[in-house]
Amino acid sequence: MDYSRSIWNENPIFYNTIKRVFAFSIAIIFPFTHYCVLTKSPKSFGFLKWIIYFHCCCVTCEWLNNAFLIDIMTFQPSVLIRVDGFLNSLIDPAVLFLISSCTEDLARTSALLLFTSRLFMIFNMYRSNFSWTRYFGEGLVYTLVAVIGLWTIPMTFWCLPDQYTEKFRIVYNAKFYPDGLWDSTVVVTSGSDLESERFVSIITILNSIIVGILIFASSKAAFYFLEKRMEVENESEATRRMHQKFNQRTIFQAILYLSFMCIPISMLYLTILLDVKIKGLTYFIDFSIENHPVACIISLFLYYDPYQNYLLKVVRYKPRRRKNKSSTIAALT
């Protein structure tokens, strides 16, 4: 190579060091969360407990891949990524990229299932009869939610090109590409031609928007239906205030997901679609997506009182006791 066509800092030592130190410093929160979900979930949670635990397992796997095992660095705004994790010398980096994409899709699907299960919990709050029709209907909804979250997996496999051929095309046609293009750890995630880039970018952005809308809409719907059911019961003002708290927690959890997953991914593929290079954006996107599992775990403690109370007990923090706590809301939070 006669001269560099790279526009990136391909070896951000300070950033990578801070990122790894941060990952090691918060590692304990993941096994602690597993313990809380398995041992501190009240019986009133029912099936919700296992939905929460499935979500916990998915985000734990995602965090391990993001922080240590795979650790993808994105060369924004291009279809090139680099695998910097501990497994990059043991497993084909293209395979590691596919594994990383699959775990991210599973984590996204588990979040959708978690919000869906809360809605069903509210619907079933005052229903004493359980019918096969009801189980079948709920099963169909869960299946539809899973399809919405996982349909991008086969597309990722289908779009992954032959690495040697595509890298040659990038050398001859691309305006910018990393100096380490021919390193085995650098992976071309889709065709580098304009048509392929636009197709993948539009599909990914639409998927992020759809998932974000569904999560935000389900969080608002959960509060709406809970409020309607409570109106029938003529609940007290104290209980209504607790409904408001439930609503705030639900919306906050949805905003966390949007901030750490939907928005960064949309920004990444928008820059590819529009061919825009924004200095420093790579670090924001990388840090946000990599710490999406951390945000999910934190939201579990902020949302569910049993886990939050146990955490406060472990750190020996004693909050004020609240009176007239509703058992209905306690089942949800």
Amino acid, res. 296: C
Pairing status of strand 72-74 against strand 186-188: unpaired
Q: Do 189 and 159 meet the contact criterion of CB atoms below 8 Å apart?
A: yes
Mean pLDDT of the chain: 85
**Domain-embedded: residue 1:** no
Q: Does 162 score more than 80 pLDDT?
A: yes
Distance CA(303)–CA(33), nearest Å, equals 13
Amino acid, res. 250: T
| Residue 125, Cβ density class (10 Å: 0-12 exposed, 13-18 middle, ≥19 buried) | middle
Backbone angles phi, psi at 308, to 5 degrees: -65, -45
Determine which helix (DSSP H) or strand (DSSP E) holds 52, and give its type and residue range.
helix 48-64
Q: Do 107 and 296 meet the contact criterion of CB atoms below 8 Å apart?
A: yes
**Domain-embedded: residue 40:** yes
**Domain-embedded: residue 5:** no
Q: Of the given ranges (117-126, 236-245, 267-276, 295-304), which has the lowest mean pLDDT?
A: 236-245
Return the C-alpha torsion angle 8, 12, 16, 18, nearest 10: -120
**The pLDDT value given to residue 32:** 96
**The pLDDT value given to residue 174:** 85
**The pLDDT value given to residue 324:** 45
Mean pLDDT of 155-172: 93
Distance CA(25)–CA(67), nearest Å, equals 12
List the structure tokens of 183: 């390193």
Going by C-alpha positions, the residue among 110, 57, 38, 63 that lies closest to residue 310 is: 38
Distance CA(249)–CA(219), nearest Å, equals 9
**Domain-embedded: residue 260:** yes
Going by C-alpha positions, the residue among 253, 289, 230 that lies closest to residue 66 is: 289
Q: Of the given ranges (226-230, 270-274, 327-331), which has the lowest mean pLDDT?
A: 327-331
pLDDT tens-digit readout, 322-332: 544 444 444 45
Pairing status of strand 72-74 against strand 80-83: antiparallel
**The pLDDT value given to residue 185:** 96
Q: Does 83 score more than 80 pLDDT?
A: yes
Mean pLDDT of 94-123: 89
pTM: 0.86
Distance CA(227)–CA(247), nearest Å, equals 10
Q: Of the given ranges (224-228, 253-257, 276-280), which has the lowest mean pLDDT?
A: 224-228
Domain containing 262 equals 13-332
Distance CA(8)–CA(176), nearest Å, equals 9
Amino acid, res. 255: I
Task: Please give the residue that has the higher pLDDT: either 131 or 94.
Answer: 94
Q: Is the dihedral of CA 245, 251, 257, 263 positive or negative?
A: negative
Q: Do 188 and 161 meet the contact criterion of CB atoms below 8 Å apart?
A: yes
Task: Please give the residue that has the higher pLDDT: either 23 or 225.
Answer: 23
Task: Please give the residue that has the higher pLDDT: either 25 or 218.
Answer: 25
The total domain count for the chain is 1
Distance CA(210)–CA(241), nearest Å, equals 31
**The pLDDT value given to residue 67:** 93
Distance CA(84)–CA(169), nearest Å, equals 24
Task: Please give the residue that has the higher pLDDT: either 123 or 29.
Answer: 29
3-class secondary-structure state, position 130: coil
3-class secondary-structure state, position 285: helix
Backbone angles phi, psi at 187, to 5 degrees: -125, 135
**The pLDDT value given to residue 303:** 84
**The pLDDT value given to residue 1:** 45
pLDDT tens-digit readout, 231-270: 656 666 666 666 667 677 777 878 888 888 888 988 889 9
Q: Of the given ranges (84-93, 122-131, 231-240, 270-279), which has the lowest mean pLDDT?
A: 231-240
Q: Does 137 score more than 90 pLDDT?
A: no
3-class secondary-structure state, position 2: coil
pLDDT-derived band at 305, boundaries 50, 70, 90: confident
**The pLDDT value given to residue 187:** 96
Task: Please give the residue that has the higher pLDDT: either 94 or 175.
Answer: 94
**The pLDDT value given to residue 231:** 64
pLDDT-derived band at 181, boundaries 50, 70, 90: very high
Going by C-alpha positions, the residue among 112, 125, 74 that lies closest to residue 243 is: 125
pLDDT tens-digit readout, 48-63: 899 999 999 999 999 9
**Domain-embedded: residue 159:** yes
**Domain-embedded: residue 2:** no
CATH number of the domain enclosing 181: 1.20.1070.10
List the structure tokens of 332: 């949800």
**Domain-embedded: residue 6:** no
**Domain-embedded: residue 4:** no
**The pLDDT value given to residue 326:** 44
Q: Does 296 score more than 80 pLDDT?
A: yes
